[in-house]
């Protein structure tokens, strides 16, 4: 796909606001070795929240409920994401049970891919029903 078409049609997530809600904040060690939680324990909640885009990068209005397919959640320890990176998770843009826009995800659900200790970075991409993907949102750090 040409850069011009991609730029015009890509969904704008650059203005997306990401916040975390959960116990203990986002601090932690920068060690690259993680430890799993003790047997029977789970990771504490780290909820990533966002606002869905309401326009394409060319300022054309969009309805995220009818135009978006999913949000891809990308996580790594560097904060640098490339187009070829597979998402660690994907959530439907619209909750099938409530028919409302999805605007949050508990990062603890990514266990065992994330563990206690390391500092991680998360970035989102919106994916339209047409398959077009937005740029990555600015990365936000977290740890357990």
The answer to whether 54 and 28 have CB atoms below 8 angstroms apart is no
* Cα distance between residue 16 and residue 92, in whole Å: 17
Query: How many domains does the chain contain in total?
Result: 1
Domain that residue 116 falls in: 3-34+41-142
Residue 11 pLDDT greater than 50, yes or no? no
Report pLDDT for 42. Answer: 87
112-124 confidence digits (pLDDT tens): 999 999 999 999 9
69-113 confidence digits (pLDDT tens): 999 999 999 999 999 999 999 999 999 999 999 999 999 999 999
CATH number reported for the structural domain that contains residue 88 in this entry? 2.60.40.10
24-61 confidence digits (pLDDT tens): 333 333 333 455 555 455 899 999 999 999 988 788 89
Q: Which of 120, 123, 121, 117 is nearest to 135 (CA)?
A: 123
């Amino acid at each position: 796909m040409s850069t011009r078409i991609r730029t015009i049609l890509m969904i704008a997530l650059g203005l997306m606001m990401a916040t975390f809600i959960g116990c203990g904040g986002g601090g932690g060690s920068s060690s690259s070795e993680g430890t799993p939680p003790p047997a029977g324990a789970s990771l504490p909640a780290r909820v990533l929240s966002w606002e869905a885009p309401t326009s394409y990068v060319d300022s054309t209005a969009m309805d995220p409920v009818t135009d978006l397919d999913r949000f891809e959640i990308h996580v790594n320890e560097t904060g640098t994401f490339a187009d070829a990176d597979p998402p660690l998770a994907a959530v439907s843009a619209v909750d099938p049970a409530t028919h409302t826009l999805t605007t949050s995800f508990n990062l603890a659900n990514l266990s065992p891919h994330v563990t206690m200790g390391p500092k991680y970075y998360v970035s989102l991409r919106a994916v339209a029903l047409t398959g077009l993907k937005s740029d990555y949102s600015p990365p936000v750090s977290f740890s357990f």
